[in-house]
Structure 1
Amino acid sequence: MTTGQSPSGARKTLGLLGGMGPEATVELMRRVVAATPARDDADHIRMLVDNNPQVPSRIKHLIEGTGEDPTAVLVGMAEGLKQAGADFLAMPCNTAHWYLPAVREAVDLLFLDMIDLSVRYLQNSTPQPKTVALLASPAVRKVGLFDQRLKAAGFTPVYADGREEEAILQVIRAVKAKTCGQLEQDAYQAVTDGLRERGADAFLIACTELSVIELPATENIPLADTLDLLAAEILRTAGVEG
């Protein structure tokens, strides 16, 4: 056992609602493993993963208004993970957190919340930012997923708009299609530059598709990744200490 860790038998088991998208799910697992202070296999946490790429599209449901509501599928996944032995749940998709209240209502397990984790991180940052630029799916902006909690904590959220927002959506779609190349990276950088010029003093990667590609340059402005915040909280909740 690594010094400073709880005995492996005392650790909690993670249930992961994945597949949104699959690459982001695997990347979260990789970050959890990489951040675990381990000398042997037994030092890592147990992860039960439902990697379900057939979860109905959040973009089609929230942006286009034509897709199926994914709530029932997400509830079924959470219930299955609980029955399989999960002690707590997490979901590496920011946009899918729009449905989190309904899943929590249906399944009586602790469910880690990436939006709350992000707000707490920003509140504990030194110096504390004022204007937070969210690099996110247009659905996140449309439903105001982060807005109320950011504003309540004293932050001003800003987003890509117009052509910038369409550019971000194209980058996200390219990641899902495994066609993301230099053109998309340049578009991602251009959106980030525009947000910085509009006064952003902190950046938050709030789409896990954007978490799996090269980070944009932010000219010394702090950048946080919700996937990193979730990985760290998973280890804390599971009982792993660094």
Structure 2
Amino acid sequence: MLGVLGGMGPMATVDFMAKVIKSTPASCDQDHIEMVVCSATGVPDRTAAILAHGRDPLPAMLDGLRRLESSGARCIAIPCNTAHCWHGALQAKTSVPILHIVDAVADTLARRGMTGTTIGVLATDGTVHAEVYQTQLAARGHTCLVPDAKAQVSIMQAIRLVKAGRVSEAGAILRREAEALVDRGCALVAMACTEIPLALADVDAELRTRLLDPTEALARACVEACLAASKMPTTEAA
């Protein structure tokens, strides 16, 4: 069973679940992956915590983690990029594997045969400041470019608009900033906040080919992990 530590934000969690379903090779209900979701909307703002002017979200995330464990989750996903700043701390508290969203992105690039790629990162201030993408992708041979300070302010505004349900307004801002990163030489632009794919769902085909969706990459990684686990013999059978 896949456990989803969600609610950061709620629409992004639903989007992730839809992508898990779309990524699953299924011909009937019973072919799909069982999921249990903790929509932990009470988790304090992750970016505020990273920038040292907000409450620590780790206790609330650990509470959600325990709920997923007690519900029978055997693999866990967190459809929030910024929350992955605490991935190591969360994984240290459980034996249940927590898939890392940036590992899923790196694996996607590898499957495409892309090495030494320059990736643009559209993300929250927290994700950028914590270098969640820069560190992980550098270890896999890629380079990241982030927006300048003025553009980053606009991106944060757009993310807040999505959370408030004003998706079309956010899309116009994010389209401009994605195009700016492409113009700076990025081969692909990672929509590295789970709200961003919601706002850029209807971009034109030319820009669409340059966008990389980490939410979708994580969903596919979860499907692969759950299907592989379902083929393994149980302890009793062994």
TM-score, normalised via structure 2 length = 0.89
Change in CA separation of 1:117 and 1:35 when aligned onto 2, cut-off 3 Å = closer
Superposition RMSD in Å: 1.8
**2:233 corresponds to:** none
Distance in 1 separating the partners of 2:111 and 2:24: 23
For 1:147, which of 134, 145, 165 is the aligned residue? 134
Residue type at the aligned position of 2:56? D
My pick for the range that moved more, 166-175 or 218-227, is 218-227
Q: What SS is found at the alignment partner of 2:132?
A: coil
Distance in 2 separating the partners of 1:238 and 1:211: 24
Q: What SS is found at the alignment partner of 1:50?
A: strand
Q: CA deviation at 1:236?
A: 0.9
**1:29 corresponds to:** 17
**1:234 corresponds to:** 222
TM-score, normalised via structure 1 length = 0.87
**2:86 corresponds to:** 99
Q: CA deviation at 1:51?
A: 0.6
Give percent identity, aligned residues only: 30
**1:195 corresponds to:** 181
Number of residue equivalences: 227
1:45 and 2:43 aligned: no
Q: CA deviation at 1:73?
A: 1.1
1:15 and 2:3 aligned: yes
Q: CA deviation at 1:184?
A: 2.6
Instruction: For structure 2, list consecutive stretches of 5 or more residues without a partner in the other structure.
Output: 231-238
Residue type at the aligned position of 2:182? R
**1:210 corresponds to:** 196
Residue type at the aligned position of 1:172? I
Distance in 1 separating the partners of 2:111 and 2:27: 31
For 1:123, which of 105, 110, 122 is the aligned residue? 110
User: Which aligned runs of 4 or more in structure 1 are off by greater than 3 angstroms?
Assistant: 126-129, 215-222
Instruction: For structure 1, list consecutive stretches of 5 or more residues without a partner in the other structure.
Output: 1-12
Q: CA deviation at 1:36?
A: 2.2
Residue type at the aligned position of 1:42? Q
